[in-house]
Amino acid sequence: MSRIPITGIGVVAPGAIGIDAFRPLLESGATAITAVERFDTSGLSRHSAALIRDFNAREFINPMKMRRMNTLSRYALSAAKLALRDAGIETLDPATGVAIGTAFGPVQTSVEYMQEYVEKGAALAPPQLFAESVANAPGSHIAIELGLRGFNITVTQRESSALAAAMYASSQIAKGAAPAALIGGVEEINEMIFSVLDRIGALGEVSRPFDKGRNGLVMGEGAAVLIAGGAGKPYAWLSGFGIARDTSASISDWGVQHAAVVAAMQAAIDDAGIEAHDIGAVYASANSTLRGDALEARAIHQLFGGEIPVVATKGCFGEYAAGGALPIAAACIALRDQVVHPSAGFESGDEAPRIEVMREKRSMRLDHLIVNSVSAGGGIVSAVLSRESA
């Protein structure tokens, strides 16, 4: 496909508000996962998550407008404004599109609305809560606030939501339907989702992607919005996408068909017009689950062998953080800075297959990276990011 530049990045991430805080956190190999204090977890088996702290949405959003937004929309709009600030611009072409991914959407808003509905009845339940209970509320607020009239979609594809949204937006830009797009993802941790994932045994207490001691994902939240297209010095270029499905996966777990992950990565490489040996590193989907990490490790080993650097960012930010958009942002930074980042939580991998999971920051020449999103339920999206426009 035609290569699409990424010209600005805005993050509202656990442990990092803004790109200037995000970059050193990535390089440190530290984790933003801490004890949950937002709600009571005493009756649950897990008690940790990567939460947004020290964030003041009033720095980015007019207080009167903010009153009409739920937390999810505040995260997303703030990240969008941070992306414009990072790109050094104040406005975008009105024809710019918006493509946002979210795994769960505004569940907390739906809970609050239903509580009001049950307690007060339909006539007294706040209508604004209902308006904010739809998954596309964050993307709509971004478009309204920034005056954008291009396409506006929200993708809910579990762990692959943000990368699937980026794939759609890139296809629209490539065919000339829009000059640019705001792409990314948003997620919020709330008691209902946390408790359900805990009850079904999906959660671990410490995130250890690819580590032999991993025992479940740790949740993360926040937003990341990237400017695809437009003017400015690019971090990197979106140059290819691949999509596949693992038909052996259940609705709530990963499967065993690593060939499907290989197919998605190879399709992205083919779409970018390069070869597998041109890929300098893999920014993995690994989230500390037993089956998901093993599936991806087998695929990486089959396509690239055991020596390509592999980075797993979810040991720092958790799963679902920013709707899955943080690995895309991290890969863009890696290409601009010519470094691969350490994988928080990783100590020692499985005996087979052996892959080179990064434990320390490494400076190296990088022309192309691949970013994976492998979802429970079998959805797989891979993207190639490149250093140059051709």
Reported as a single tens digit per residue, the pLDDT across 69-98 is 999 999 999 999 999 999 999 999 999 999
Q: What residue has token string 């948003």?
A: 186
The one-character DSSP state at 36 is -
Specify the pLDDT at position 351: 76
* pLDDT of res. 285: 97
Q: What is the pLDDT of residue 323?
A: 83
d(CA 267, CA 390): 18
**CA neighbor of 295 nearest in space, from 381, 371, 369, 378:** 378
Instruction: Extract the runs of DSSP E, i.e. beta strands, from the chain.
Output: 4-13, 16-17, 34-35, 48-49, 97-101, 152-155, 180-187, 222-229, 236-245, 281-283, 309-311, 339-340, 356-357, 362-363, 368-374, 379-386
What the chain holds in terms of domains, given with CATH numbers, is 4-229 (3.40.47.10), 236-386 (3.40.47.10)
Which positions ≥6 away from 226 have C-beta within 8 Å? 6, 8, 9, 10, 83, 166, 182, 183, 184, 325, 328, 329, 332
Token reading at 27: 């390089």
CA–CA separation, 183 vs 87, rounded Å? Answer: 14
Packing angle, helices 137-146 and 71-87, rounded to 10: 40
- Evaluated on CA atoms 193, 197, 199, 204, the torsion sign reads negative
Quick: pLDDT tens for 228-248.
998 888 999 999 999 999 999
* Predicted local confidence at residue 134, as pLDDT: 87
- Walking along the chain (390 residues) 10 residues at a time, the average pLDDT comes out as 94 96 96 95 96 94 89 96 96 97 89 77 75 90 97 96 97 96 96 95 95 96 96 94 96 94 98 97 97 97 95 96 93 98 94 91 97 96 95
pLDDT of residue 300: 98
Query: Which residues, in sequence order, are CB contacts of 169 under 8 Å at separation 6+?
Result: 97, 99, 151, 178, 181, 183, 228
Q: For residue 24, what pLDDT is reported?
A: 96
Contacts (Cβ under 8 Å, ≥6 apart) of 37: 51
Q: Which residues contact 60 (CB under 8 A, 6 or more apart)?
A: 77, 78, 81, 82
